């Protein structure tokens, strides 16, 4: 089975993903840090959105509520539904701006304005 190299632009991290595996699963299997946010893993919630900046891939059905046609056309796809067909370069997209980001409960804030300020990439800060 063909294995492809997936490179995360921000961190330079590289991991392998075969054509039958999705990029989110491969990343969570091989990377210790949570570089890509893990949500429903089933194409519904949108938190794992990435932008593919280089490479060929196929996707399976994603909820249009979180990945619109224009987004998809610009290379934004959900990592849990992303299957490589060549080596890929991806950027993590801060899709959590659509919701309040869940932080540790001690620093948690319900302020609505947080929704427009947050540019979370899924990393612990």
Partner 1 sequence: MALTGVLRPGHVAIRVLELEPALKHYKDVLGLVETGRDDKDRVFLKAWDEHDHHSVILREADEAGMDYMGWKVDSPATLKKLAGDIEKSGLATDTGWLAAGEQLKTGERFRFTTPTGHVMELFAHKDYVGNGCGTDGPNVNPDPWPDGLKGISPSRFDHCLLYGDDLDGTVKLFTEVLGFTVSEQIVTKADPDFMIGAFLTCSNKAHDVAFIRQPVKGKFHHASFELGSWEQVLKASDILSRTKTKIDIGPTRHGITRGETVYFFDPSGNRNEVFAGGYIHYPDKPVITWYDETLGPAIFYHDRELNEAFLSVFT
Identify which range of 6-14, 15-23, 55-63, 84-92 contacts partner 1 by CB under 8 A.
55-63
Q: Is 112 in the site for partner 1 (CB under 8 A)?
A: yes
Task: Return all residues near 9 (Cβ < 8 A) that are at least 6 apart.
Answer: 53, 89, 90, 91
Residue from 63, 72, 87, 89 that binds partner 1 (CB under 8 A)?
Answer: 63
Q: Is 31 in the site for partner 1 (CB under 8 A)?
A: no
Q: Is 100 in the site for partner 1 (CB under 8 A)?
A: yes
Distance, CA of 48 to CA of 45 (rounded, Å): 8
Q: Is 32 in the site for partner 1 (CB under 8 A)?
A: no
Question: Which residues of this protein are in contact with partner 1, per CB under 8 A?
Answer: 37-45, 47, 61-65, 96, 98-102, 104-106, 108, 110, 112, 115
């Amino acid at each position: 089975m063909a294995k492809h190299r997936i490179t995360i632009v921000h961190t330079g991290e590289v991991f392998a993903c075969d054509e039958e595996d999705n990029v989110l699963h491969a990343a969570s299997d091989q990377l210790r840090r949570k570089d890509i946010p893990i949500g429903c893993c089933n194409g519904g919630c949108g938190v794992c959105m990435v932008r593919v900046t280089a490479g060929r891939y196929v996707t399976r059905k994603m909820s249009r509520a979180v990945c619109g046609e224009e987004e998809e056309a610009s290379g934004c796809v959900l990592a849990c539904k992303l299957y490589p067909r060549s080596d890929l370069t991806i950027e993590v997209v801060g899709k959590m701006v659509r919701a309040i980001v869940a932080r540790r409960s001690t620093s948690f804030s319900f302020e609505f304005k947080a929704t427009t300020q947050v540019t979370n990439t899924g990393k612990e800060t």
